[in-house]
Amino acid sequence: MIASRKNKMTLMTLSSVFTVGVLTIFISFCYNAIASVATPSIGVQIGGGSLTNPLFGYTPQNVEIKVGGSVVWYVRPLVPAEPHTVTFVFDNKTMINGFLPSNPVVFSPTIIDSSGVTKIYAPNASLTMTGTEKYVNSGWMFPKGPLPGSSDTFTVTFQKAGTYNYLCLLHPWMVGKATVT
């Protein structure tokens, strides 16, 4: 009798552990499903590090995002005053003007579209990339404040699946990649 009651208790305990487990998995699944719908954007930090040891890179260097999602590049406040850009060069001919900061296609957020038309945008631009552009640039990214006209955020919404490599015009060894699926 005692043994059977003990078995029953064990069964009940096991059953409730199982139920809690299933519930946890279900809630976590729902939460993740909602989270992926509600926040279709990924943040990437540019540069960083310290005054004596500035970081030349994008963190994370590679991101993956769904079609229609956005990547938000940002510069942390109060980090070394080293400017960077996020620049997609799909047509090397768009680079004939060089990298001079006095050139607006270098300094300001810019799109050169498939027919070669150049559009310059205000700082902290949020641009949509159709996948047909020749050139898309963030302009100079800098901690907010010291450099008028520079950006501390840059957002791109990707409308077409593909692999999008980018670099920093000022430090061309700084490279990153957005994979859109």
Interaction site with Cu ion (CB under 5 A): 84, 168, 170-171, 174
For Cu ion, the closer CB: 75 or 174: 174
SS3 for 73-93 is: EECCCCCCCCCECCEEECCHH
CB of residue 51 to Cu ion, shortest distance in Å: 16
CA angle, corner 58, sides to 45 and 143, nearest 5?
Answer: 45
For Cu ion, the closer CB: 76 or 171: 171
Decide the pairing of beta strands 70-74 and 41-46: parallel
End-to-end CA distance of the chain: 61
Residues 6+ apart with CB under 8 A from 147: 81, 83, 140
CB of residue 121 to Cu ion, shortest distance in Å: 20
CB of residue 151 to Cu ion, shortest distance in Å: 13
Residues 6+ apart with CB under 8 A from 165: 88, 175, 176, 177
CB of residue 173 to Cu ion, shortest distance in Å: 9
CB of residue 56 to Cu ion, shortest distance in Å: 6
For Cu ion, the closer CB: 144 or 171: 171
- The answer to whether 94 and 135 are in contact (CB under 8 A) is yes
For Cu ion, the closer CB: 84 or 134: 84
β-sheet bridge partners, residue 15: none
For Cu ion, the closer CB: 128 or 153: 153
